[in-house]
Chains A and B, each alone.
Chain A
Amino acid sequence: MDSLLNPYYLQIVMFVMINAMLGISIYLTLATGQLSLGNAGFMSVGAYTSALLTLKVGVPIFLAVPAGGIAACLLAAVIGVPTTRMQGLYLAIATLGFGEVVRVVALNLKVTNGALGLSGIPSMSVMTGKGLSELGLGSGVGILSAQQLSNIIVIVVLALMLACLVFFALRLSKSRMGRAFAAIKADEQAAEVSGINTTYYKLVAFFMGAFVAGLAGALAAHITFYIGPQDFSYHKAVEILLFAVLGGSNVVWGPLLGSFILTLLPEVLRPVAEFREMIYGAILVIMMTFRPEGLLKEGTIRFLWAKFNWRAKAEDDNSQPEPEGGR
């Protein structure tokens, strides 16, 4: 129990959640078939906005984080209108360029402190820890130390936000708007001919992706103490894209699974030290060879769901113990 609540693991869980949000952000734009690589750029806008608001203006974190998301969304409005008219690779390149522009701007602005980045950003777990000690829980509760407790509280907050986003994305895919997204993804011209305002829906998807990325960026800034322009280079954009490519981009669970695996993998591979990168690369190549459309697709979900239902039914039907003795 104690080893599971090790701050090391808790930290990894936090990174998993942030990356899962980034996975959702790329899923939202991919849902309309738009390959946008600007998520790292939006993430950095969110991160810088939130960090600067807390550092320079003294805005509390819980207000600064949504402000980061909104700032990313506003910027998406500026660049979204021209770029969503592009398709496929052109959009990918334009958004990748946008990400680089954001990075270079952050590198040269005085307020972002250039290449030195912003340090000493108020951390959510430290703030929670302070709040706890004000409540007289400074020495922890039961077997939990104050640090573990504050980390767990942060994780719960992140988990709630993530759950909301997942719920939203799931409901979205069943809604009128989600159907329109799917239609655009399948065939944009056909969708337009059947009366769907493709520009509108593509823009909405782009905004939603930017907002979620900004939110994730802001949260990331408040769990890592420090942000610099190099954190949001095209490496990050590619990493986010990998979540969707590896996990599968047709269902919400795909990018979630992708982000989960790709965040955990480097940590699980720590014991092999020098061979880490090689194994990481090999696993990606193998996955792509045998499962080019991503780990999860609609068929897989239906298959798993059917199997799960069948089992539940079987257990319901004969309440007698199973002859094999269960699992």
Chain B
Amino acid sequence: MFVMKNVAKKVMAGLVAAAFMAVAAGCGGSQQSGGTQAGSTAKIGVVTILSGGGAAYGEAIKQGLELARDEINSKGKTKIELVIEDSKGEKNEAINAANKLIHKDNVVGIIGPTLSGDMFAIGPIANQSGVPIMGTSTTAEGITEIGEYVFRNALPESLAIPQAVKKAQQKLGLKKVAIMYSNNNDWAVSSFKTFEQAVKNNGIEVLTIETFADKDTDFSAQLTKIATLKPDAIMVSGLYQEAGLILKKAREMGITVPFVGNNGFNSPQLVKIAGASAEGAIVASPWFPSKDDEKVKKFVTAYKAKYGKEPDQFAAQAYDALYIMADALEKSGSTTDRAKLKNSLKIVKDFQGVTGKFAFDEKRNPAMEVTVLVVKEGNFVELK
């Protein structure tokens, strides 16, 4: 009994010590961030996924932002400090991260979060506290309706998909199609609905609607059914991992019809996973890495030099987002005034970024040009 008590005592002492250390560490962190001057440096918060399932997207976003920050800071004028917080792709974590950025770090604006679902949770918080928040990858319906402080430069699927469908129909003469989508991903479901609408608007018949789930690896059941119906094309709404595997499996099974994808198709990773099977896949996107444009070329070279890989759309949109925010900050004439930043973000117009000419419409959604791309010999080229 005596021994037991001693052990308990030691454990308790250890715990108390650990708690003190943790508190001390926490305080150290806060003092540091509180000590930085709010003079000419603008503090911008970032909420993104750095661990867990969606970390690949979060990493690309972080790299795009850091590259933009370094470029902006080397130019002079507005200096930018990024405070990056991990959301783990979990709602509560995202809420805590946003609250920390808003109330403890006193950031002037926030870029992120990565997921639309997280935006529905932290958008209202930012809006209530009067902090401009800009999503770079939140494409679901209804994001900017949260409030007047919520912006996004992620092209909503409701703009991109109809153009992809329309162009595909014009070029390929589609009459009947099959649709597949991931039903446990809020964003994929939202873009499936857009697909359905766009297909209907173009007078195309839907033969069947098949569902799968994120992280699925076997799609033979769905594809077998689709193969028997002989559609002219297959529309897929999902992330690139699943999309890549679907393409591969379909070609293996002898399905040769073209695929039209949502934004999930728009990644070099798709070609990497599907290999030759990706040939002919169609997607609409504002981001086009081999575009003949000075800015795009410069960005791709700089990104490759720094991280050793080609930037994807997530990196490109994040890169543009920080430039848009820096631009708006400069015009607002203050590096700390959140309301002024919101007002000057609202009137962003004719901004020339790597994803093309950019402006916010009256609902704070992006108004930008879309290019319909097709995979040819392992590269995305414009569908002409």
Residues of chain A at the chain B interface (Cβ within 8 Å):
3, 6-8, 11-12, 15, 107-108, 114-117, 119-120, 123, 126, 147, 224-231, 266-274, 276-277, 290-291, 295, 299-300, 303
Contact = CB atoms under 8 A, between A and B. Distances in A.
10 contacts: A114-B186, A115-B183, A116-B186, A123-B124, A224-B91, A226-B117, A230-B117, A230-B184, A266-B93, A274-B50
A276 B86 contact: yes
B142 A273 contact: no
B16 to A, nearest CB: 12
A230 to B, nearest CB: 7
Interface in B139-181: 140-142, 146
A157 to B, nearest CB: 19
B95 to A, nearest CB: 6
Nearest to A299: B4
Given A11-B99, A115-B189, A116-B190, A147 B183 contact: no
Contacts of B26: 268, 271
Nearest to A126: B128
Given A117-B117, A224-B91, A225-B124, A299 B28 contact: no
- Sorted from nearest, which 3 A-B pairs have the closest CB atoms? A271-B29, A119-B120, A226-B120
Interface stretch (B100-108, B257-265, B272-280): B100-108
B129 interface: yes
B96 A231 contact: no
Contacts of A299: 4, 8
Name the prevailing secondary structure of the B interface residues: helix
Nearest to A223: B95
Contact of A12 (B8, B23, B50, B96): B96
Contacts of A12: 96, 99
Nearest to A103: B184
How big is the B interface, by class? Answer: 35 or more
Interface string B1-38: 00011001001000100000011011011100000000
A107 B184 contact: yes
B28 A7 contact: no
B128 A268 contact: no
Given A3-B30, A231-B91, A291-B11, 8 more contacts: A8-B96, A107-B183, A114-B189, A225-B123, A226-B120, A230-B184, A268-B26, A270-B29
B117 A300 contact: no
Contacts, number: 109
Contacts of B86: 270, 273, 276
A231 B8 CA distance: 36
Contacts of B256: none
B331 to A, nearest CB: 29
A123 to B, nearest CB: 7
A206 B25 CA distance: 41
Interface of B: 4-5, 8, 11, 15, 22-23, 25-26, 28-30, 50-51, 84-86, 90-93, 95-96, 99-100, 102-104, 117, 120-121, 123-125, 128-129, 140-142, 146, 183-186, 188-190
Contacts of B120: 117, 119-120, 225-226
B25 A271 contact: yes
A230 B185 CA distance: 9
Given A147-B128, A224-B121, A277-B51, A271 B96 contact: no
B65 to A, nearest CB: 15
Contact of A226 (B30, B50, B121, B128): B121
Contacts of A269: 22
Contacts of A228: 91, 117, 186
A115 B50 CA distance: 22
Contacts of A272: 25
Contacts of A107: 183-184
A225 B121 contact: yes
A205 to B, nearest CB: 27
B271 to A, nearest CB: 27
A225 B140 CA distance: 16
Contacts of B190: 116
A276 B97 CA distance: 14
A115 B184 contact: yes
B104 A8 contact: yes
Given A6-B104, A123-B124, A230-B184, A271 B8 contact: no
Contacts of B146: 119-120
Contacts of A114: 183, 186, 189
A276 B26 CA distance: 13
B102 A224 contact: no
Contact of B186 (A3, A115, A276): A115
A276 B85 contact: no
A280 to B, nearest CB: 10
B96 A273 contact: no
Contacts of B84: 273
Nearest to B125: A225
A229 B213 CA distance: 13
Nearest to B22: A268
A8 B186 contact: no
A147 B4 contact: no
Contacts of A303: 5, 8
B103 A7 contact: yes
Contacts of A115: 183-186, 188-189
A272 B21 CA distance: 13
A20 to B, nearest CB: 14
A108 B85 contact: no
A104 B247 CA distance: 26
Contacts of A116: 117, 140-141, 186, 189-190
Given A226-B117, A273-B50, A276-B86, A7 B99 contact: yes
B297 to A, nearest CB: 32
A277 to B, nearest CB: 5
A300 B8 CA distance: 7
A300 B7 CA distance: 10
B68 to A, nearest CB: 20
A108 B86 CA distance: 29
